[in-house]
Amino acid sequence: MSKNWIDSFFLPLFLLLIVFPVVALVIRLDWAGIQATFADWLFWDSLKNTMICAALAAALAVVVAIGFAYYYLFHQNSLIYRIANLFNDLPIALPHTVAGLALLLAFGRNTLGFIGETGAAFTLTAVVLAMFFVSYSLASRTLVSGVDQVERDIIDVARTLGDNTAQAYFRVVLPTMGEALVSGYILAFSRSLSEFAAVIMFGGNLPGSTQVLASYVFTRVEVGDLDMAVTAAVFCVLLSLIIVSILSARRRKHA
């Protein structure tokens, strides 16, 4: 009885709230809009910016997450770990407009004015930092899960042979965490691709400069080019589906 009750509300709600909006987007595609979008160099420039910045942000997220996982494994009682763990999931709960404003104040002209009129703000560096800020926690939690799968015996052996904690971590633990590292990168990359609010607040929405796919769609809607906005949005959906499919395939392979 309970199973039938769950089936009776899950499937309709899932189809209505998840599947239907995507279908509504796809069926709104217009050939003229597709042609206009693919002929627009700003679309391809925003795609380039998105892919490059997301790749760099994901790489930075994994690098920092490697440090977090180290403290999780060896120094959970340290002040550094406690503070890092406290702030680790903050980007998930924090409104991303707030995150963008925080980054703007931290790395804008008031603090980094010596490197440029706006500091690091409204540059591709700002886009990378904004994407990193919102995606880092996904990478860190993925690496922590990978650390939990490591056999503690091999760490004890390494320590017995004279390795300190850092040596044991980089020589023994990390080489066994290839799947976690790749999954953490893919998750951070996919999250970076979808970011809008923090990017537009800190990186701006400068066509031909810092515009990314998400802000390109917003701009097309804002100026009334709905057909072009729909084309770019469907392109984003397809790109996201490819990434999710890759991640799912890797999970099945290592299940």
Average pLDDT in the 78-89 region? 91
Count helices and strands in the chain by DSSP H and E runs: 15, 0
Confidence of residue 255 (pLDDT cuts 50, 70, 90): low
The string of pLDDT tens digits covering residues 110-160 is: 888 788 788 899 999 999 999 999 999 999 999 999 999 888 888 888 888
What pLDDT score does 23 carry? 95
- Does residue 159 form part of some domain? yes
What pLDDT score does 253 carry? 72
- Does residue 114 form part of some domain? yes
* CATH (domain of 184): 1.10.3720.10
Average pLDDT in the 84-97 region? 88
What pLDDT score does 91 carry? 84
More confident residue, 5 or 247: 247
d(CA 4, CA 245): 29
More confident residue, 106 or 160: 106
The string of pLDDT tens digits covering residues 177-193 is: 988 999 999 999 999 99
- Does residue 20 form part of some domain? no
- Does residue 104 form part of some domain? yes
What pLDDT score does 245 carry? 87
d(CA 149, CA 167): 19
Q: Residue 65 is part of which domain span?
A: 31-253
What pLDDT score does 113 carry? 77
Average pLDDT, the chain: 90
Average pLDDT in the 224-253 region? 88
Residue 199 has pLDDT above 90, yes or no: yes
- Does residue 51 form part of some domain? yes
- Per the structure, the count of domains in the chain is 1
pTM of the model: 0.91
Average pLDDT in the 87-108 region? 91
Residue 195 has pLDDT above 80, yes or no: yes
- Does residue 35 form part of some domain? yes
What pLDDT score does 254 carry? 65
- Does residue 106 form part of some domain? yes
More confident residue, 25 or 154: 25
Residue 106 has pLDDT above 70, yes or no: yes
Residue 3 has pLDDT above 60, yes or no: no
- Does residue 168 form part of some domain? yes
Tokens representing residue 240 in the block? 């996201």
